[in-house]
Amino acid sequence: MNMRQISKARRAAAAATAAVALTLALAACGSDGDKPGKSSSAGQSSTPDNGGAVDEGGKGDPGSAQPQPDKVLATLKGEKGIELDITAAVRDTGGFVTIQGNLRNTTDQDFLNTSDWRGSELEISQAVGGGSLAGATFVDSKEKKRYYVLRDTENRPLVTTLSSVEAKATVPVFMQFPAPPETVNQVTFSLPTFQSVTLRLGSE
């Protein structure tokens, strides 16, 4: 082999070596380029799909919590499946006693006979013109004095008015009375057609 042939052989070998090196370099770059994509994909999969909100183990939104039911002080049984749950009997600073509760119709039929609850006073019947709880009274345990519901300037009683209680319905009600002396903290409450019950007066 002469010098010219040796020179050609060396150039060919160098070219082949360079081609191999270039191929290896490109392969390395391609391999490194795939890694950020995989990392990004993994990062996306760890992000919640709910707008970034973090699951707190099912604690829920405090604002969506169900309200606690009223505490029942006493339950009065009426006629035809009607019941009255007393939930408050409070003496306020204005010199009044407010009794609150829930009328419940436990039957599958509407209750229409609410006129008995308004009592027998003609003036109240004329002022209200329908059913109400105006017949409610209480007797204080010390003075044995009976208290009737308060009325406004037009002789309308300060009580809930209603003409019926629908089947399976619950109706919030209230009755307001003049307060007995401060020394009286227990009264016997009555409403026509219901049994009487003794209530302890609370304060605001």
Q: Do 30 and 87 fall into the same domain?
A: no
Q: Is residue 59 part of a domain?
A: no
- What is this structure's pTM? 0.65
CATH code of the domain containing 192:
2.60.40.1150
Mean pLDDT across the stretch 29-51? 48
Q: Do 40 and 87 fall into the same domain?
A: no
Assign 175 to helix, strand or coil: strand
pLDDT surpasses 80 at 162: yes
User: In total, how many domains does the chain have?
Assistant: 2
Q: Do 84 and 37 fall into the same domain?
A: no
Q: Which long-range contacts (CB under 8 A, 24 or more apart) does 181-184 make?
A: 181/140, 181/142, 181/143, 183/142, 184/140, 184/141, 184/142, 184/143
pLDDT surpasses 90 at 14: no
CA distance 22 to 29: 11
Domain that holds residue 18: 1-46
Give me the count of residues in the chain.
Answer: 204
Q: Do 78 and 42 fall into the same domain?
A: no
Q: Do 80 and 22 fall into the same domain?
A: no
* DSSP designation for 29: H
Q: Return the higher-pLDDT residue of 200 and 49.
A: 200
CA 193 to chain centre: 33
CA distance 14 to 7: 11
Q: Is residue 24 part of a domain?
A: yes
Identify the pLDDT of residue 107. 98
